[in-house]
Chains A and B, each alone.
Chain A
Amino acid sequence: MDVIKVENLTKKFDDFAAVDHISFDVAEGEIFAFLGPNGAGKSTTIKMLTTLLAPSEGSIELNGYNPINDSNAVRRSIGIIFQDPSLDDELTAFENMEFHGVLYGIPKKVRRERIKQLMEFVELWDRKNSLVKEFSGGMKRRLEIARGLLHHPKVLFLDEPTLGLDPQTRNHMWSYLQELNKAKRTTVFFTTHYMEEADRVAKRIAIIDHGKIIASGSSAELKAQTKTESLEDAFLALTGKVIREEEGSNLDRMRMFRKARGK
């Protein structure tokens, strides 16, 4: 059964198509990698799948529900670790976890157990009562990951979850996710710039560039298709070697440009 079904999905910001008529399916229990250079449209796609952004065109079915008409049912089915920070800096690490647990309706006993387990897992338990604003970038990232894993959703979205993490934490996180995937058949949909990570854990991969999906299949299939030896080479063969602008600055500039035009 396909837990994510996407057809002709499009998102336009003014006349710029950030996501341009993409279609794909993700099977239940699959670990699916969504790869692409900066600005390809990965995060925008995830925002539409997770009810945060309305598509301009096309349709989405997530766990059988439509994110627009049935947003609450979709929200009950998903969990997400965002690419950008989403913690409350004025709360403590524990309070951020607790806030999340209550919003997701996890009963108190389970909640407290899991919070302890996950915070130990990312080695933040002894800092549980520190305000998040006192944390380093890496600690914040680890807390975001622990928080994203607190409730056990049907589909878990991870938008560049391992960016800026040390290899230990990265390995740790993936073994946890693979276990969760096995035990609960959690579907994992993730983006990353680390090709070896995608190669190792993803069952299927889609590559998106300039808002369009340009290839998809297993890592072996992508390598065969491009006649390359590694996923990294396959990725470069498909997306070219031109360096893409940093997403952040690009985004800011676009927004400023739009403002200047009075939009």
Chain B
Amino acid sequence: MKTIYILWLRQLKRYIRSKSRIVGSLAQPLLFLLALGYGLGPVFQKAGQGNYIEFLAPGIIGMSIIFTSIFYGLEIIWDRQFGFLKETLVAPVSRFNIMIGRTLGGATVATVQGVIVFFISMLIGFRPVSFVMIPFAVLFMLLVAILFSAIGITIASLLDDMQGFQLIMNFLVMPLFFLSGAIFPLQNVPGVIEKIAMFDPLSYGIDAFRQLLVSISHFGLMTDLVVLAAVTLFFLSLGSYFFSKVQI
């Protein structure tokens, strides 16, 4: 327990100390909210879909969570490069606990980012339908963050150096985000896109945020929960398996 805690604490400290990274990682969601929200809002409204900021904000919260949690999961590659990974791997702590500590650390940071983006979106006009549901939305944010941290760690366990990093950002994270229904409704899209979105776990996360914050849902909250929980368990197991095989 204590070892998980100290691993978690380390990632939080690193997060709090990286001021420039925090600012940078909030600039992007803000840009999306402003440009898409105000730029496409009128079109969205005309098409009879209602208020676009309301629709978009949960999607952008999802975006900041997936970016942050995958990034912190991939931090293992940095630790390997700068040598710190050895220090944890040689300690008498099971790899499973190390994996859990790191996952929770990255997930906590990502959830904090998600909550900050939530407040930013309130500043530019987003209004949740009910404040009672906000704690539940935060719990879902944590679940999504755990899921993508675990995916980040799974991938990082298989990579030797940073060269793969850009590849992952471009060919995994970007598509997961853009095809998740974060910025457009899944109701009226061509069948192919809807099919793809169905296999994108982020779709279910964002769907849950929407249900809880603005009462719009495509899959239904129960489906969201079951899918997210199952995929999270799957990647936690896969991640601990690959992480247990890591050699220096």
Contact = CB atoms under 8 A, between A and B. Distances in A.
Secondary structure dominating the interface of A:
loop
B119 to A, nearest CB: 26
B90 A91 contact: no
B31 interface: no
Contacts of B91: 75, 100, 103-104
A231 interface: no
A47 B3 contact: no
Contacts of A54: 247
A254 to B, nearest CB: 13
B146 to A, nearest CB: 22
Contact of B93 (A47, A90, A103): A103
A75 B91 CA distance: 6
A88 B88 CA distance: 11
Contact of A76 (B82, B87, B89, B92): B92
A87 B94 CA distance: 20
Contacts of A90: 13-14, 17-18
**Which 10 residue pairs spanning A and B have beta carbons closest together?**
A103-B91, A75-B92, A86-B83, A76-B92, A102-B6, A52-B248, A86-B87, A85-B83, A86-B86, A90-B14
Interface of A: 47, 50-54, 72, 75-76, 78, 80, 82, 84-91, 95, 98-100, 102-105, 131
Given A51-B90, A52-B89, A95-B10, 9 more contacts: A53-B248, A80-B90, A87-B83, A87-B87, A88-B10, A88-B84, A102-B3, A103-B93, A104-B91
Interface of B: 2-3, 5-6, 10, 13-14, 17-18, 82-84, 86-94, 247-248
24 contacts: A50-B90, A52-B86, A52-B247, A53-B247, A75-B90, A75-B91, A82-B83, A84-B83, A84-B86, A85-B82, A86-B83, A86-B86, A90-B13, A91-B13, A95-B10, A99-B6, A103-B3, A103-B6, A103-B88, A103-B91, A103-B93, A104-B92, A105-B2, A105-B92
